[in-house]
Chain A
């Protein structure tokens, strides 16, 4: 094993090729680990965002679509649920609680969610964690707003600050509900879910700002000012989606069926876990393709390494003969070349992990902003270690090629290479 000590000097002697090889392998390792990291963190984030909710109810559409717009604020609802249906479901047997969500408005790019203050008690994330207020309190007035941690941080709002809700969810809002401003009553702690980027207002607030609107535009003849609106009936005509908690999970399928067969309105109830599975099935095709491409890129990286070592080998026949003359066994020569492959790959992996973490640190905030996906730097997961071990295993297999070739040279050339 005395030749192993030579590996580093030998590789450093070919700094340029070594550097290039390590760099290439690093990129390919980064790609694979990156795809895996985004995949698992996305799943993790999605799974964490809903717990304690047994059913999600919305207008009839696809279950994945309902899941995406209700919980993850991706896309929009096609239709609403009437207030009557909401009341009916609340009184169904087996139903413990129902939280209505009214979506469709925004504030400076952040989604506005109309709901009841029960939401803050009932909603759970990351298994059983309740929402916490780090500042202020839930709504006590129809013009109160509660901000998710990320929204509050980015907007720089404190409790008491005013905010104006804009109509629609586009980033360029033309129409604003400027006549009825809200004030921040509370700010939630960070959850790592889409809630962090949401602005919550009471359901009555949603009704109030739309009361003098029709077909998505204000109607000038019907203007009702912010104070006199309080005198009116502010129960909404419809809501976008309902989060339903059951007295027992065993009722889930029964209640789901009853909602789906609801006669007066086409509704859809989904069990979040099952809808998530469906989402994973849709996504797994793309995931597999990405993983497949990443594995190919790893193979290309390793093939590049093999080529680099094989190319160097011809110039190194003299070196092999010298090592033989001082007593190196052919198997030592083989180990030297194998060790070179392994050192290159391990260095490449280390580099790849570095790039991964560097990019996570740099771009995770942007990912969270645009898609609400929280990617964390930190320890490698067991799956990632497994991938790394597989890459090293592959490197050993590929390293056999130059190793064996050098071994043959050492046997055939002996001490007499003509250079």
Chain B
């Protein structure tokens, strides 16, 4: 049954194998296509576990997780890896870049693993590298000399924008950002969120933005508190 929801979770339970204490217990969560969701996730709310579930890295013990109309819990591990490469762009809190690759190689890292995304990145007639440059300049990194610099020489703000460009390259349907602004100062945070939202709108991607900074939530379609939907408390 095809739905308009990009993410559908029902009766999901997960506990780490080593312990038996559950870390995630979500009865229902659905995110419609194109929505920009702000997920408030204080530490200990099961946030990283949820991201691993959404990223198809781990499968829940119980319940259902559908992303883009695919049941992740029934997929083999290598199919889940492929699915993640094809459909999901990730931005982490910090240290998003591979230190030994150039800016442009870092941006293009994702499409190496996904034929689908490399096709979509070059769909507009541009080469992948040109599309990467277009994204970088849309995100405010239009200085050519920057592309050849070592990524470790970039400021944290610049690094996060490179990470955003990587997550967006090849138009993945779902972009998941895990506190991408926590290492930025106030002015840069707002600017970054704005750029990210614009690019998601451009490429028609659904955005799940996890942060515990409530001042950013204004710009989002919907605000959810993970602590409220996760029935497991006090971890």
Contacts and interface: CB of A to CB of B under 8 A. Distances in A.
Interface of A: 2, 5-6, 9-10, 12-13, 318-319, 321-331, 414-416, 419
A9 B86 CA distance: 24
Interface in B69-117: 77-78, 81-82, 84-86, 90, 92, 94-101, 105, 109-110, 112-114
A329 B178 CA distance: 21
Contacts of B178: 415-416
A193 to B, nearest CB: 55
9 shortest A-B CB distances, which residue pairs? Answer: A327-B85, A13-B100, A327-B113, A416-B48, A325-B90, A414-B57, A326-B110, A329-B81, A414-B52
Contact of B95 (A324, A328, A416, A419): A419
B155 to A, nearest CB: 18
Contacts of A12: 100
Contacts of A329: 77-78, 81
Contacts of B81: 324, 327-329
B55 interface: yes
Nearest to A331: B78
B57 A319 contact: no
Nearest to A14: B100
B90 A319 contact: no
Contacts of B227: none
Contacts, number: 74
Given A329-B77, A414-B55, A415-B90, 7 more contacts: A9-B101, A12-B100, A322-B109, A327-B110, A331-B78, A415-B92, A416-B49
A327 B77 CA distance: 11
B98 A415 contact: no
29 contacts: A6-B98, A9-B100, A9-B101, A10-B100, A13-B99, A318-B95, A322-B95, A322-B96, A322-B109, A323-B98, A324-B57, A324-B81, A326-B85, A326-B112, A326-B113, A327-B81, A327-B82, A327-B86, A327-B113, A327-B114, A328-B81, A328-B85, A331-B78, A415-B48, A415-B51, A415-B178, A416-B48, A416-B52, A419-B95
Contact of A327 (B84, B97, B101): B84
A324 B178 CA distance: 15
Contact of A319 (B48, B55, B99, B166): B99
Contacts of B57: 324, 414-415
B156 interface: no
B193 interface: no
A414 B84 CA distance: 12
Interface residues of B, number: 32
Contacts of B105: 9
B58 interface: yes
Contact of A416 (B51, B101, B112, B166): B51
Interface in B164-205: 166, 178
A227 to B, nearest CB: 85
A321 B98 CA distance: 10
Interface string B109-130: 1101110000000000000000
A415 B178 CA distance: 10
B99 A328 contact: no
A328 B166 CA distance: 15
B101 A6 contact: yes
Contacts of A322: 92, 95-98, 109
A6 B233 CA distance: 42
A6 B49 CA distance: 28
A66 to B, nearest CB: 64
Contacts of B58: 414
B183 to A, nearest CB: 12
Contacts of B84: 325-327
Contacts of B49: 416
A321 B52 CA distance: 11
Contacts of B100: 6, 9-10, 12-13
A14 to B, nearest CB: 8
A2 B51 contact: no
Given A322-B92, A416-B51, A5 B98 contact: no
B43 to A, nearest CB: 10
A9 B77 CA distance: 28
B52 A415 contact: yes
B101 to A, nearest CB: 6
A325 B55 contact: yes
A100 B109 CA distance: 79
B52 A325 contact: no
Contacts of B114: 327
Q: Which of A5, A323, A325 has the most CB of B within 10 A?
A: A325
Contacts of B77: 329-330
A216 to B, nearest CB: 74
A216 B125 CA distance: 97
B112 A5 contact: yes
A328 B114 CA distance: 10
Nearest to A410: B57
A408 to B, nearest CB: 13
Contacts of B82: 327
Interface string B29-65: 0000000000000000000110110010110000000
Contacts of A13: 99-100
